[in-house]
Structure 1
Amino acid sequence: MVLLLGMYGTASRAADTSAPPATAATATPPAGAYRIDKSHASLLLRVSHMGFSTYTTRFSRFDATLSFDPTNIPASKLVAIIETASLEMDAAPKMCTDIVRGPQLLDAAKFPKIVFRSDSIRMTGDKTFEISGKLDLHGVTRPLTLTATYNGGYPGMPNMDPHARIGFSAHGSFKRSDFGMGFGVPAPGTTMGVGDLIDVTIEAEFTGPALPNAAAKPH
């Protein structure tokens, strides 16, 4: 959205005949250090609620850094840090949010950060891959594998988005009981409670090196 506003926010900008050619948006982005663009990223969680629905929630505050080379994706390194207390539960009663963020589950006061660090990346297609790493959650560290797709990127566009930009979609799942959070898990053979399996969906854009001689601009 910010990028669109920057490109089309005024009539004079939209009518600018000096806009870069279309190839600028399809050229290969450079290798280097990238950081997540928080205005174009989401981290969603889905879990069964008594078997009646799949409840969807999200974390609203997180950061990530990525060492990335589009010609050598398996060499990439990712570190993501999530603020535990930023779990959002729209319209949920305070009693529910207190339980989820409190000692019975996430215990955000004691464990304020959730961290994922990649260990290896295995290509499964031209632009699809598996990210194997370790998830630090609730004082427990366990392996986690994400399936991901590299959606492409560009090296930047002068006067519009002068930094390189890349985008990814990723998905994974884990059992919360594996991280010491078994409160409310349904008894075997029932669905009365909140599911053990947490489904994670990530959409993220990252910004990286600037174009040569490009002035830094907000994204």
Structure 2
Amino acid sequence: MKKISIILSAFVLLSSFTVLNTVWTNDDPHSQLGFTVTHLGVADVPGTFNDFDAKVTSSKPDFSDGVFELTAKVGSIDTRVEARDNHLKSADFFDAAKYPELNFKSTSLKKAGKNKYKLTGNLSLHGVTRPVTLNLEYRGSVENPMSKKQTAGFKVTGTIKRSDFNLGSGFPEPMISDEVRIEADGEFVK
């Protein structure tokens, strides 16, 4: 009996030092991964990647220790114009046959205000991996009344340069802006 008490005490003591990470995954119908470029210097053209998975791993309720990961299928690009989408999938731009996915994994998260963070990580796109820093807003957590699951909301915004990833080098500015604005919104469930 004494042996069991010692083992249980040791287990409880060791468990108190264990940090439990929770994995949150994006809720597809309530998440979107979007981008916008400027065409001819006069009009914004938006698009989305419709097939993507994202997850957040965190042990803190405010996600201040969160690790954010995303994988998107390049072939799911959608700008509402099929001919343009096919051109973007070609070797002129994303070369979806050779580079079928884009990936992001965060490396740091720094507080930038109430529920606001600077999210830095490595973006792999078109065979190139580069560090990028984006703005992250934690929009809160609630229990979804339909699914009864705990749900957290995030908004990510920022700008990358397509030239950093060798995308569309045959199409200079102002035909297509070098700057690509990113805007992603997501609901995540645990």
Q: Note whether the superposition's TM-score is higher than 0.5.
A: yes
Distance 2:188 2:131 in 1: 24
1:174 to 160, 169, 172: 160
Q: Is 1:184 matched up with 2:171?
A: yes
Q: Is 1:145 matched up with 2:127?
A: no
Give the RMSD, CA atoms, in angstroms. Answer: 1.8
Q: How does 1:86-105 map to 2 (within 5 A)?
A: 86-90=76-80, 92=81, 94=83, 96-105=84-93
Q: Greater CA deviation, 164-173 or 64-73?
A: 64-73
Moved over 3 A (4+): 69-72
Q: Is 1:52 matched up with 2:42?
A: yes
1:194 to 170, 176, 182: 176
Distance 2:92 2:25 in 1: 33
SS at match of 1:174: strand
Displacement of 1:165 in angstroms is: 0.6
Q: Which runs of 5+ in 1 are unaligned?
A: 1-29, 209-219
Q: Is 1:164 matched up with 2:150?
A: yes
The alignment-based identity, stated in percent, is: 26
| 1:27 equivalent in structure 2 | none
| 2:98 equivalent in structure 1 | 110
Displacement of 1:72 in angstroms is: 5.3
Give the 3 Å change call, closer, same or farther, for CA 72–150 of structure 1 in structure 2.
closer
Give the 3 Å change call, closer, same or farther, for CA 67–109 of structure 1 in structure 2.
same
Q: Which digits, 9 at most, give the CA deviation of each residue in 1:155-176, with x for residues without a partner? A: x36x732221100111011111
Q: Which runs of 5+ in 2 are unaligned?
A: 1-19
Residue 29 of structure 2 aligns with an amino acid whose one-letter code is: S
1:120 to 91, 97, 108: 108
Residue 152 of structure 1 aligns with an amino acid whose one-letter code is: G
1:83–1:113 Cα contact (<8 Å) kept: yes
1:37–1:207 Cα contact (<8 Å) kept: yes
Higher percent of residues as strand: 2
1:66–1:78 Cα contact (<8 Å) kept: yes
Displacement of 1:204 in angstroms is: 0.3
TM-score normalised to the size of structure 2?
0.84
